[in-house]
Amino acid sequence: MWNKTGWWLWWDIRCYKHSLFTQEDVHCAWSEGWADFLPLVVNGDRCYDFGTGPCTGISDHDHYDLEAHSRSDDPQVFPLGDIVEGRVAGALYDLFDSVNEGFDSATFGFAPIVNLVFHAPHEDRFSAFWESWKGSGWNKHHAVRTIYQNTIDYDVPPRFEPPLPDRTVLQGFSWVHAIDLWEYAVDEESADWEMGYQIVNVTDWRCRVSLEGSRWVNLAPITGWLGSCDVTIRLNDSLKTAGDTFRVNVVPVRTRVFLPVIMRNSR
């Protein structure tokens, strides 16, 4: 990497004593994590091998299978986060490879990863690499899930912004597409269509609220019923959720306006 870019963190004194699953700092974890990741790609071997390999001998002693390490690890034995080089290496490898497990849903290959690292700005930590990734135009939804699988949580929770609006329906009428949830759902990493939407509570069933196409809220109150209900919608980016509640008011028709009808008599 030094030969290619003319810059790298080989001199970090905090890296003098390290292993794949020791807590170091963000700089050491990035530089050593890259050094752990690169031979996996070159050798076509998902294990970091201390022996002849691939993946031979005692697991987590003679080799480390970075695909097998995930959020289910015991953090007392295998620490978490972006200050651990094995987590950085695992995240990079999962961004690269086409074998997905758990939250990992990325299959980007080597080119988008190395192109970011080869070009300025020079990232000195994995979080800086993530900022470069977000600005690169590559998909963020699958990337942040894959990084999360490797115990590094860069996911910004979704939200409704602005809040979902209340709706008023006339008695005996329905309102198709009363709310377009995509107009209110906001997420830093996920597009509207990449998120999930769910009605989790309606305080009065007679409101008859339904969800169409994971986007539209439809209202069809029971004929003859008057009243109100509160509807809670849950937004899910596949890692975290947000909720918001709006009110539906069903009101009587006070007056009716009849337009004149002109009819032609035929003789």
- With a cut of 60, say whether residue 263 has pLDDT above it: no
Mean pLDDT in residue range 222-249? 97
Please give the pLDDT value at position 59. Answer: 92
Task: Using a pLDDT cut of 90, give the percent of the chain over it.
Answer: 81
Reference 122, options 30, 53, 220; nearest CA is 30
Q: How is residue 8 written in tokens?
A: 């790298």
- The conformational region for residue 238 under phi > 0 = left, psi -120 to 50 = alpha, else beta, is left
Torsion of CA 66, 71, 72, 76, to 10 degrees: 90
Residue 145 banded pLDDT, cuts 50, 70, 90: very high
- With a cut of 60, say whether residue 261 has pLDDT above it: no
Task: Using a pLDDT cut of 70, give the percent of the chain over it.
Answer: 94
**pLDDT tens per residue across span 150-204:** 999 999 999 999 999 999 999 999 999 999 999 999 999 999 999 999 999 999 9
Residues contacting 136, CB < 8 A, separation 6+ = 112, 116
**pLDDT tens per residue across span 90-123:** 999 999 999 999 999 999 999 999 999 998 889 9
User: DSSP letter at 138?
Assistant: S
Residues of the chain within CATH 2.60.40.10 domain(s) are 159-251
Burial of 228 per CB tally in 10 Å (0-12, 13-18, 19+): middle
Please give the pLDDT value at position 255. Answer: 66
Q: How far is CA 154 from CA 104, 151, 157, 195, 264, in A?
A: 14, 10, 10, 17, 71
CATH class of 159-251: mainly beta
Secondary element (H or E) of residue 37 = helix 26-43
**pLDDT tens per residue across span 60-87:** 999 999 999 999 999 999 999 999 999 9
Determine the Cα–Cα distance for residues 100 and 83; give it in Å rounded to an integer: 23
Reference 140, options 120, 118, 157, 155; nearest CA is 155
Determine how many CB atoms are found less than 10 A away from the CB of residue 120: 8
Determine how many CB atoms are found less than 10 A away from the CB of residue 138: 17
pTM for the model stands at: 0.89
Going 43 to 44 to 47 to 52, the CA torsion angle's sign is negative
Please give the pLDDT value at position 260. Answer: 61
Please give the pLDDT value at position 153. Answer: 98
The label of the residue with tokens 């905090």 reads: 14
Q: 26 φ, ψ to 5°?
A: -65, -30
**pLDDT tens per residue across span 12-42:** 677 778 889 999 899 999 999 999 999 999 9
DSSP string, 66-125: TTT-STTS-TTTS--STTBHHHHHHHHHHHH-S---TT------SHHHHHHHHSSS---S
